[in-house]
Structure 1
């Protein structure tokens, strides 16, 4: 973009620049501000340097000649910093022209139109152009300020909402969690001890069951022996009754035989008493009474012997049976006592086993509930952690983006400070007027063959602007200082 300005004898009115520069108060360097004076200020500064160099070059030739220049135009083209500089002398009206053209797109023309023409800069059009562009940039700055304020408010609201959540103190919750973990650990140890006790009780119950089965077999064998002994006792009782009956029969038979014998003796005695004694010389007969007595004694001895034998056998058998019955009875009583104790112990163990099983079930349900509750709590905490991590990552990305933007803004701020300093020097230099004196020497051609034109005499003096511009310059400088701060 090129801006072409013409010379003006008077500076621009103070109302335009003062009004426009008043907007510098609202500029904040932390907002992205485009580079607004690069295409204007830098070429203009280079132009001023080239102008000073050209004036210095031409001043050495001002006293060489005072003749009138021929009606011919001369041009000098020089390049510096990627741009070009044009110094021209025109035959129209004997004027002197000096112009600069740079790649940045800025061009300024100085004209010399007579003895009293002044070398002037049309700063009014330049300032209007710059102020228009500055106004557009300030509008953009205001929009960026509004967007920045909105972002700051959103960030502040975000930190107000999310900050306290991230700064919560979970120490008391961790203490509760540690206590519950300790309780769960203790409950697990207790459950393990209970399971060990249950296993021990099962082993003890198995041992008692084996003992019970062994004792049951012993009891059954003893009961079988007792039944056999009872059958033997019954047989012995029957044998005893039979023998007693036989003894009674034999006693009855003996009494009957004794009675018959007495009767026979009585009959014989009666017969003998009524008979005649006839003595016959014959062998003596045996005494029947004696024979009977012998027979009686013999049978009585046999009966007594059988009775003694039977009594001894019965006594022996009865003693043995009584002893066996006593032993069996004692064994049965002991077995019954042991069975009762074992039943009582078994019932107690079964009751304890049921209580332990119920306690185990209750503890398992409680453990499952606790695990489910804390799993839900941990899932909630994990989701919060994930959300906070995502927010933290987003904040880090936003912080990095803001850091990059801040670095860019800092770079832009540095360049703007340099450009504002240049612009300030430009504004200060705009109030300095370059005047050409009345005895302006005309230009003449240098007779020596040279690719560069010869300018005979140029008198350049710089005068300070009138005093009426001093107050405006001070105000402008003050506003620029405010803008830089």
Structure 2
């Protein structure tokens, strides 16, 4: 008898096998079986395409050299057909007659038990050649998982950075408002200082004019007194006792007036100098305060400009980060949708494969039952060919047993 059933996996089933191995570590087989009898018969089982197709098989038997025929039954599976090189064992059955005896002699010469291959089952297949492909697919899945994790981490980091920038922006905005309020207060102080300076300048001018007026009045009074003294040289002759010397009196009066004028001038000069020193001190203080306010105003203005530039840069950075975040989310959603579609497709294929394998198992059990019956008929035919004792009642009971 030939070598039994041979099972070979099609290379086109690689994707389905890899997907099934990644999900539940299951592997499936695609096989074909062909049997030949007299005249000839075959049973073929293939897998191809997405929609399984079936052709029913019928069995009929006969005697007297007509043999037993099993009509062909084909099956198409989920994704691909069996490899062109897949081969299956065939066996021949001979009925009663002289022309079938050479075939029977070959069976007897071979000394093979027809139940041997049915009991032994299919040969184990070597899966080592798919190990590299499966490892490559597992590596790709692991790389995609790592990439997705990295993208999720980048998205979280970008979101945290955006939150930090938002908090920083709010704090900088509060600082800016506070600085603007301080600047407004300083401007008010500067305006008040300018008004005070103008008032002090007006007072200084008024005091200067008053001092000039007092000096002029003093000079006029002195000049008038001198003129009066110069014109007082009038001689009067009277008959009177000798009195006081008028010249001496005038000299005394002039000395007194000069002393009073000198004293008034000194007092006025001291008062004027004291007023000028006070005004100069106030002007110096106001000038220093104004200079400090101007310096602080310049510093604050530079800080405001720096903060505005930083705010613009932070806004641009935030906008770019938002665009990057949207792009990453869009790409991630597209990749996740693609992976979900692939997963749904693989799950559908896995379901179809399970259904097909269950159906194939049922057909395989049916074929095994047919094989047992065929082996019984072969044994009957062999006993007939060998000239053994065969009764009609046994043949009828055997036919009824079918």
Please, what TM-score do these two structures have when normalized by structure 1?
A: 0.53
| Structure 2 CA distance for partners of 1:29 and 1:251, relative to 1, 3 Å | closer
User: Does the aligned pair in 1 maintain the 2:190–2:293 contact within 8 Å?
Assistant: yes
Per the alignment, in what secondary structure is the counterpart of residue 143 of structure 1?
coil
The match for 1:123 is: none
User: Does the aligned pair in 2 maintain the 1:205–1:346 contact within 8 Å?
Assistant: yes
Aligned equivalents of 2:274, 2:314: Cα separation in 1 = 58
Deviating runs (4+, > 6 A) in structure 1? 29-32, 163-167
Q: Does 1:127 align with 2:63?
A: yes
User: Does the aligned pair in 1 maintain the 2:155–2:325 contact within 8 Å?
Assistant: yes
2:302 to 333, 344, 349: 344
**Cα offset, 1:291, TM superposition:** 2.8
Aligned equivalents of 1:433, 1:165: Cα separation in 2 = 58
Aligned equivalents of 1:308, 1:373: Cα separation in 2 = 95
**Cα offset, 1:344, TM superposition:** 0.8
| Structure 2 CA distance for partners of 1:27 and 1:372, relative to 1, 3 Å | closer
Aligned equivalents of 2:289, 2:179: Cα separation in 1 = 19
Aligned equivalents of 1:221, 1:153: Cα separation in 2 = 92
The match for 1:23 is: 39
The match for 1:73 is: none
**Cα offset, 1:368, TM superposition:** 1.2
User: Does the aligned pair in 1 maintain the 2:200–2:279 contact within 8 Å?
Assistant: yes
User: Does the aligned pair in 2 maintain the 1:35–1:416 contact within 8 Å?
Assistant: no
Aligned equivalents of 2:363, 2:134: Cα separation in 1 = 28
Per the alignment, in what secondary structure is the counterpart of residue 190 of structure 2?
helix
| Structure 2 CA distance for partners of 1:216 and 1:153, relative to 1, 3 Å | closer
**Cα offset, 1:214, TM superposition:** 2.8
The match for 2:144 is: 173
Aligned equivalents of 1:405, 1:239: Cα separation in 2 = 133
Per the alignment, in what secondary structure is the counterpart of residue 155 of structure 1?
coil
Of residues 338-347 and 177-186 in structure 1, the stretch that sits farther from structure 2 once superposed is 177-186
**Cα offset, 1:127, TM superposition:** 3.3
**Cα offset, 1:178, TM superposition:** 3.6
Number of aligned pairs?
297
The match for 1:242 is: 213
User: Does the aligned pair in 1 maintain the 2:78–2:353 contact within 8 Å?
Assistant: no
**Cα offset, 1:328, TM superposition:** 0.8
**Cα offset, 1:322, TM superposition:** 0.8
Per the alignment, in what secondary structure is the counterpart of residue 244 of structure 2?
coil
**Cα offset, 1:166, TM superposition:** 12
Aligned equivalents of 1:334, 1:193: Cα separation in 2 = 36
Q: Does 1:214 align with 2:185?
A: yes
1:369 to 324, 327, 346: 327
User: Does the aligned pair in 2 maintain the 1:194–1:356 contact within 8 Å?
Assistant: yes
The match for 1:225 is: 196
**Cα offset, 1:194, TM superposition:** 2.7
**Cα offset, 1:330, TM superposition:** 0.8
User: Does the aligned pair in 1 maintain the 2:43–2:71 contact within 8 Å?
Assistant: no
User: Does the aligned pair in 2 maintain the 1:208–1:342 contact within 8 Å?
Assistant: yes
| Structure 2 CA distance for partners of 1:318 and 1:156, relative to 1, 3 Å | farther
Q: Does 1:143 align with 2:143?
A: no
| Structure 2 CA distance for partners of 1:383 and 1:341, relative to 1, 3 Å | same
Residues 230-309 of structure 1: pairs in structure 2 closer than 5 A: 230-261=201-232, 265=233, 267-268=234-235, 280=239, 282-309=240-267
Q: Does 1:205 align with 2:176?
A: yes
User: Does the aligned pair in 1 maintain the 2:197–2:286 contact within 8 Å?
Assistant: yes
Aligned equivalents of 2:63, 2:82: Cα separation in 1 = 41
**Cα offset, 1:332, TM superposition:** 0.8
User: Which of structures 1 and 2 has the bigger CA Rg?
Assistant: 1
| Structure 2 CA distance for partners of 1:316 and 1:326, relative to 1, 3 Å | same
Aligned equivalents of 1:211, 1:361: Cα separation in 2 = 31
The match for 1:401 is: 359
User: Does the aligned pair in 2 maintain the 1:32–1:409 contact within 8 Å?
Assistant: no
The match for 2:292 is: 334
Aligned equivalents of 1:22, 1:362: Cα separation in 2 = 80
| Structure 2 CA distance for partners of 1:151 and 1:327, relative to 1, 3 Å | closer
1:184 to 129, 148, 155: 155
More strand by share: 1
Aligned equivalents of 2:200, 2:319: Cα separation in 1 = 54
| Structure 2 CA distance for partners of 1:152 and 1:174, relative to 1, 3 Å | closer
